[in-house]
Amino acid sequence: MFPIQVASLEFLVLSIICLILWHLLFSRTWRLYILSFLSLPLIASYITAFSQIIVLAITVIAGFFIAKSLQKKPSRTLLSISLTGLGICFLMHKDVLFKGFLGETDPFQPAAIMGFSLVFFKLIHLFADAYGQTLRPLKPLTYFSWILAFFTWLAGPIVRYNDFAEQAEEGTLKPERGQILPALNRIVNGCFRLLLICPFILKHIDFTIFSSPQNNYVFCLNCFVYMYGYYLYIYMNFSGYCDIVLGLGMLFGIKIPENFTRPYLARNLLEYWRLWHITLSEWFRDYVFTPIYMSVSKKCGRKYWYISLIAAYALTFAGTGLWHGFTLNFLLFGMTHAVGCLFLRFSWHFISKKASKKFIASYKKSKIIACVACVCSNSWVAFSLLFFSRPLAELGQLLNMILTRLTA
């Protein structure tokens, strides 16, 4: 069975069947059963080995009982064992335990391969919130429909359990008044991006163009077109996917959190991560960055604040990169962002200590600085995304070509 993509006939048929049954059945319980069961064919389409079914089934079922137990009695030992177990399952799923760490990259697969990884993210959040006693009472049917829901299975957004459960258990589960047309508009917009704009961009960002003879100006132009074109492709691909998913959620009467808020307008990298893949950045902020920063800063003391900052950014962005796949490409992508964010934090720390309040206020208000900063941060992001686009050997050849032309 082939993987069911979001902008495909199979996904459309599955969505329509699920929507019809969802709105025909008045019982909340039956609606959640339908959502859970109809998500299984989509999940099954991504299964390539029997072992994956076993790992997934054990993870999902055990996840429920562990969270339930943590909710009843917050045991630090159980939390530690569960998170370690999850980590091992995650490494098994990513084939790291079998094929080794940091293998080859698999480019041009941005919005179709994340389903299993998202289950692990959801479970870490579930365990942490259950341990912190902030999780709503866990119910089996709500849990399974939340973790399996086909519309967020492929690549998120990451919906928190409390947000889903509140709607599933207390919401109307119907589209809000006047929301059907905006929902359809959003789905059509997403399909337009995925089916028309993305293939158009892909057609014009051909890496092989660099091997043909060309003068320096054309070569330079081609480099820019490739770098920004690939950034645009990733944005259109992922935001298009999210448009479809959010629109579909509106038709089900389930509010799915926004994942993109015009990230290309970000003034710096820190702001960029508040606008790009928002649910993932918030997840990493809450469950990776915050605990690392707090624990390192307690150990080192506030005098050595920079140690906790470096540790938190490096580990958070290493995780952000490696989540996409255990390859050196993805690690370098993450490290590029870690370096960028640390540079911003340190330079801002220095500026705020040395500069006057008047200067800082005018710096923040200046539209020219905002434009330059916006171009710089987008360029840094576009550069980092190059690691997604091709194997390192090919990127190395391109770098070599650039250096040869510069020194010639």
Shortest Cβ 326–other proteins spacing (Å) = 26
CA angle 70, 73, 78 (to 5 degrees): 50
Binders in 354-393 for other proteins, by CB under 8 A: none
Please report how many Cα atoms fall inside a 13 Å half-sphere around the Cα of residue 207, on the Cβ side. 14
Q: 71 vs 145, which CB is nearer to other proteins?
A: 71
**With respect to other proteins, which residue has the nearer C-beta, 160 or 390?**
160
Angle at 130 between CA 126 and CA 136, to 5 degrees: 90
CA distance 358 to 361: 5
Tell me the three state secondary structure of residue 182: helix
Q: Which of 19, 46, 31 is nearest to 142 (CA)?
A: 31
CB 370, min distance to other proteins, A: 16
Task: Count CB atoms within 10 A of the CB of residue 91.
Answer: 14
Task: Kindly state the smallest distance separating residue 188's Cβ from other proteins, in Å.
Answer: 35
Terminal-to-terminal C-alpha distance of the chain? 53
Q: Which stretch binds other proteins (CB under 8 A): 24-32, 105-113, 226-234, 301-309?
A: 301-309
User: Which listed residue (5, 297, 379, 397) binds other proteins by CB under 8 A?
Assistant: 297
Q: How many residues bind other proteins (CB under 8 A)?
A: 19
Reference 148, options 292, 34, 313; nearest CA is 34
Amino acid code (one letter) for 217: Y
- Nearer residue to other proteins within complex by CB, 203 or 358: 358
Least Cβ distance, residue 297 to other proteins (angstroms): 5
Contact between 287 and other proteins by CB under 8 A: the answer reads yes
In the region spanning residues 62 to 121, those forming contacts with other proteins, defined by CB under 8 A, are: none
Report how far residue 266's alpha carbon sits from residue 273's, in angstroms, rounded to the nearest whole number.
Answer: 9
Per CB under 8 A, the list member of 36, 39, 129, 222 interacting with other proteins is 129
Sign of the torsion formed by the C-alpha atoms of 326, 329, 330 and 331: positive
Q: Is 286 one of the binding residues for other proteins (CB under 8 A)?
A: yes
Segment lying near other proteins (by CB under 8 A), choices 104-112, 250-258, 286-294, 369-377: 286-294
Piece of 128-136, 173-181, 211-219, 399-407 that binds other proteins (CB under 8 A):
128-136
Q: What is the DSSP letter of 264?
A: G
Question: How far, in Å, CA of 166 to CA of 119, rounded?
Answer: 19
Instruction: Find all residues with CB under 8 Å of 362, minimum gap 6, and list them.
Output: none
Q: Which is nearer to other proteins, 357 or 367 (CB)?
A: 357
Interface with other proteins (CB under 8 A), residue from 45, 117, 345, 391: 345
How many residues are there in the chain? 408
Could you tell me which stretch among 80-88, 113-121, 223-231, 295-303 binds other proteins (CB under 8 A)? 295-303
Q: Which tokens go with 242?
A: 């999210």
Q: How far apart are CA 217 and CA 340, in angstroms?
A: 28
Amino acid identity of 356? S
Q: Is 298 in the site for other proteins (CB under 8 A)?
A: yes
Q: Which of 150, 284, 293, 323 binds other proteins (CB under 8 A)?
A: 293
CA–CA separation, 35 vs 43, rounded Å? 12
Taking the least distance from each CB to other proteins, the nearer of 125 and 390 is: 125
Q: Of 235 and 293, which has the nearer Cβ to other proteins?
A: 293
Considering the complex, what minimum distance in angstroms separates the CB of residue 353 from other proteins? 10
Q: Output 270 or 392, the one with its CB closest to other proteins.
A: 270
Structure tokens at 50: 């029997």
Considering the complex, state which of residue 211 and residue 352 has its C-beta at the smaller distance from other proteins.
352
Give the C-alpha distances (Å, rounded to integers) separating 74 from 1, 80, 126, 130, 358: 42, 11, 12, 7, 50
Stretch that binds other proteins, among 33-41, 132-140, 197-205, 397-405 (CB under 8 A): 132-140
CB of 162 to other proteins, least distance (A): 10
List contacts with other proteins (CB under 8 A): 128-129, 132-134, 285-287, 290-291, 293-294, 297-298, 302, 305, 309, 345, 352
